[in-house]
Structure 1
Amino acid sequence: MSEKYKGRYRIESARLKNWDYASSGLYFVTICTANRELYFGDIVNGEMILSAVGELAKTYWNEIPKHFPFVELDSFVVMPNHVHGIITINKPDDGKNNNDRKVETSNLGVSTLDVSTTRMASNAWKPGSLGVIINQYKRICTINARKIHADFAWQSRFYDHIIRNDESLERIRDYIKSNPLKWAMDKFYE
């Protein structure tokens, strides 16, 4: 059920309750463009042909581990109006020693500084969490994509799925790899 926040109705989060999205794990992520606009290129004969904005989306995805050294990337694809990828957060101590409390992302012009528990309670993302990683990815893509296409925008949210076993991981990898071949049947195809 929708709840009110600051006098407006809000859709409840689809995130798994009681799961720490800054903890080690594999996450399947889908991020869509606003209104599913086809900013990233076209599918031709089952192959994705990237536009200049699509090239940015690919480049900045591959740079995520430079800014978040505890992140490893797995399968990834840029589609005409969305991206799919697998992100592994790999923190040997799951951040319990607080060495991950500050992440420098100087090339992006931002840092995620230690956030107090009072701010955390006000829905700020936990440093080093999946939300922070995706937020920074979307931010740098948006800044640079708008130099090419002034109207570029993402949907405000993103989809994630916690990958819990090898069977699920392989199924998702196959889905990502074959996504361009199945574009006409994709739920994001319009």
Structure 2
Amino acid sequence: MSYITHPRKNIRLPYYNYASEGIYFITICTRHREPFFGNITDQRLILNDAGKILKETWLDIPNRFPFVSIHDFIIMPNHFHAIIETDHTTSIRLGDIVGAFKSITTNQYINGIRHKNWKPFEKRLWQRNYYEHIIRSEKSYQTLSQYIQNNPLSWKEDIFYI
């Protein structure tokens, strides 16, 4: 049997140095948009234990990567939005930071499945890629920050709502 592989389309900006100083908006989704991290009740986010671990892990990112500052973020039942800032040029790219976060949280989640009876996932916790947007203006920053803050309020209209 022969398998045809399709090359993945690169969604990153060509020639942009993702290890350079910058402010980024990122979105990471669970595989198949499975709701693993809590729920929205009366337009309020209620994190479960997995969501609380995710929050602790994100808040710890600046300890792991001292050149990173975290700004607004929101953990939703099946995805995560954040604004992240890198303060100087480094050899570590934005994708390395996101990859470390996904890896750490996947291992923590597997531990929760084994020891705390968390809902199992199929193959991977997170979808393979992530979305990023380079924030280049104060207006863009304010719009995205407000989007993050209001995300639970518009959950039923959200593109990630299941």
TM-score, with length taken from structure 2:
0.90
The answer to whether 1:142 aligns with 2:106 is yes
Give the corresponding residue for 1:63. Answer: 60
- State the distance in 1 between where 2:98 and 2:44 align: 25
Deviations 1:98-157 (A, max 9, x none): xxxxxxxxxxxxxxxxxxxxxxxxxxxxx4110000000000100011122342610010
Alignment partner for residue 133 of structure 1, among 97, 103, 125?
97
Greater helix percent: which structure?
Answer: 2
TM-score, with length taken from structure 1:
0.77
- State the distance in 2 between where 1:143 and 1:87 align: 22
The answer to whether 1:82 aligns with 2:79 is yes
For structure 2, the residue ranges without an aligned partner over 5 or more in a row are 114-119
Give the corresponding residue for 2:27. Answer: 30
> Deviation of residue 8 (structure 1)?
1.7
1:74 counterpart SS class: strand
> Deviation of residue 74 (structure 1)?
0.4
- State the distance in 1 between where 2:141 and 2:110 align: 34
> Deviation of residue 11 (structure 1)?
2.3
- State the distance in 2 between where 1:172 and 1:131 align: 20
By relative contact order (CA 8 Å, sep 6+), the higher-ranking structure is 2
- State the distance in 2 between where 1:11 and 1:164 align: 27
